[in-house]
Structure 1
Amino acid sequence: MAAIVALAGAVVGAASIGGFATGAYATFTAGPPRTVEQNVAPDVEAAPAAVGSSPLPASDNSPPAPDDGTDPFSAEYNPATTPGDPDYLSTAMLSEWFGQQEVIKECMESKGQPYLAADPRFGESPQPHGLSFEASIAFLKALNGDDIYMPSPGGGCSGVGEAAAEAAREAGTPLSGAVPTVDPGRPTPRQTQLAFEDVIRKCMAEKGHEFLGFTSSWDPTAQPSNPNLPAGMPEGLSPDQQSQWVADMDGDAGVGPAYRWQDAGCSGYATHATGNDNMH
């Protein structure tokens, strides 16, 4: 199976989740969430992403392209939940994933850490909201090992989950867990991305700026970004205008426990307003 929706990056302190802070859709690997559908996101101070567990097993037979009339370039389209898409996650894949999540959750709880069984179809994060900076660091160490900035394979509870999944596969009895039913009214990751961008766009407009949005491979109408400019910045601005654009987008919020979303510009405001920081 090709790239799939993965876990959103865990947040340290009041910073944004890695999903919005470092590219909303990262490739689903052992060291993450999600299909790369966005190039660069706001330069908001963020923690290293929560690893969570190993990749879902690859499918031996890639399904054909969708044939149900669904537009694969629409915001309503979710490759992970659409049978026929190459990135569709089958029930068997999801069952093993959630079985592995149960192992990780048990390990985390034994260390006194909360853990959410993240749904890879929607880029969820296993880290609960509301943790302090210090609590977030403790969470990441328990999950990924002591070096949270350079998680090593097999480290922390994510490594325990990976080992359990591998052993179960070798024994011919893959891990299994209950697969949550998808709410048909739930926003897709693409819709979530666009909603986040809309908050930034309105905030920047109030400050007298244009925000083009982030380049999205799935959206043929998206305006391509100049790779020499910050993501979303229009061309033709003077150096002074560019400096003010960046200041209003990113602010000066501090790092770690000193981070304040109120000082993090429109990107920090959008991250907070959409519930993706640890200030909730």
Structure 2
Amino acid sequence: MSLRRGITRRRAASTTRTADGTGPDRARTPARRGPSAKVLGIGAAGVLALCALGATAGVHAAGGDDASPAVLLAKVLGPSGTSNGDIGTDASGVRPIGDGASDQGGDRSGRAPAKTPPPAPVPTPDATPAPTPTPPPPVDDAPDGPEPRDPSDPLSPEYNPYLTPGDPAFVSDDEKAAWLGREAVVRSCMADAGFEYLDWQWWLGGSPQPAGLTADEATAWSNALRGSANADDGCRAQAMNAAAAAEAAGTPLSAPVPAAPAPDVPTERENWLEFQAAVRSCMAELGYEYRYWEYWNPAFDSPDGSPARPSGLSEMAKAQWNLAAFGDTTDTNAGGGCWATGLGSSGYRTFD
């Protein structure tokens, strides 16, 4: 049973958000001379890490208890495997050129040395210069999104499947009333525990967690709501138990359903795109491309599970991109980097 809706039916499959499953580890390739490319890469990555460190600490305060990339989809990317081996050119097959010395005894035959044959003629190179490859377009020239769509199109950012009758994910007023009745119990329980719990209609997006919490405060808030790992002792579990008891007594929990938002109020999808635009702008300032994508639209599914990250990057380039985007070269759930910057500047909120 869904903790969000208290029913067995959940969101439509088309809204599933993908996680990253990027490339395999590389083989170890030792380098014979000079610092390896990995050493140089780590140096560059370290600079980005220092820039991203401050933003990482504030991700809970900016985006809510579940604002990490893992929950915002599994919204973007999953962990990308990187190699622990050196990255460089293996020079083990290169042989040194001989010094040309003769044997110690020399040639004592008395014969004249053989003449060196003239060099073979070298073909004259073509005078026509090779074409210069066209450079890729600047990051700023990347498209910001598709052409506007009819708001009634299920793939439109203005479309909310939970508010559209006939959509498989539509949430009825009875379901909303039952949910809000349980939320009232959660809010009372959290208040007794010393925590604020905001009004939350999950079908509109947003988060019940107050903004501005530190990481420790957000953890304490979440523990009060969810309880311990091995017991249903959190406020959410208490609300579910109260709802079951009320149902058995013939007086199911219920609460008034607020009116639907006006058409000009941004949908959750539109808020998400605003957040992603802020991430994209931050990445562009650092010199990285961050591609437009829509988590609800299967047309943006990526073969490697990474719709925002450009394809064809080396393992080192992927690590540097991840560091800029999430504040960590391998952990794309770190929630720092431009992800945290985008959460802070856009005010995007999410929860589950």
Which AA in structure 2 matches 1:40?
V
Match of 1:270 among 318, 334, 342: 342
Aligned-partner Cα distance in 2 for 1:239–1:252: 14
* Deviation readout 1:14-36 (Å, 9 max, x if unpaired): 224325532435xxxxxxxxxxx
Match of 2:70 among 22, 28, 40: 22
1:274 deviates by 1.9
Structure 1 contact 13–136 (Cα < 8 Å) conserved: no
* Deviation readout 1:103-155 (Å, 9 max, x if unpaired): 1111111121111121111222221112223322221222111x3xx474x32
TM-score, normalised on structure 2?
A: 0.55
Which AA in structure 2 matches 1:238?
S
Structure 1 contact 2–86 (Cα < 8 Å) conserved: no
Q: How do 1:1-280 residues align onto structure 2 when only pairs under 5 Å count?
A: 2-4=9-11, 14-15=58-59, 16-17=63-64, 18-19=66-67, 21-24=69-72, 39-41=75-77, 70-145=152-227, 147=228, 150=229, 152=231, 154-184=232-262, 185-214=264-293, 216-218=295-297, 220=299, 222=300, 224-227=301-304, 230-251=306-327, 264-276=336-348
CA shift in 2, pair 1:22/1:240, >3 Å? closer
Q: Secondary structure at the match of 1:2?
A: coil
Which AA in structure 2 matches 1:14?
G
Q: Which runs of 5+ in 1 are unaligned?
A: 6-11, 26-37, 44-67, 254-258
Structure 1 contact 73–219 (Cα < 8 Å) conserved: no
CA shift in 2, pair 1:202/1:134, >3 Å? closer
Aligned-partner Cα distance in 2 for 1:155–1:227: 40
Q: Secondary structure at the match of 2:338?
A: helix
Structure 1 contact 225–233 (Cα < 8 Å) conserved: no
1:76 deviates by 0.6
1:204 deviates by 1.5
1:176 deviates by 0.9
Which AA in structure 1 matches 2:271?
T
Structure 1 contact 96–174 (Cα < 8 Å) conserved: yes
Which AA in structure 2 matches 1:272?
G
1:252 deviates by 5.1
- How many pairs align? 221
Pairwise CA RMSD of aligned residues? 3.1
1:233 deviates by 1.2
Q: Secondary structure at the match of 2:321?
A: helix
Aligned-partner Cα distance in 2 for 1:42–1:122: 26
Q: Which has the higher contact order (CA 8 A, sep 6+)?
A: 2
Structure 2 contact 275–347 (Cα < 8 Å) conserved: no
Aligned-partner Cα distance in 1 for 2:271–2:151: 22
Which AA in structure 1 matches 2:213?
L
CA shift in 2, pair 1:250/1:42, >3 Å? farther
TM-score, normalised on structure 1?
A: 0.68
Structure number with larger C-alpha Rg: 2
Q: Which runs of 5+ in 2 are unaligned?
A: 1-7, 13-55, 80-149
Provide the identity percentage. 33
Structure 1 contact 80–87 (Cα < 8 Å) conserved: yes
CA shift in 2, pair 1:115/1:163, >3 Å? same
Structure 1 contact 24–193 (Cα < 8 Å) conserved: no
CA shift in 2, pair 1:83/1:76, >3 Å? same
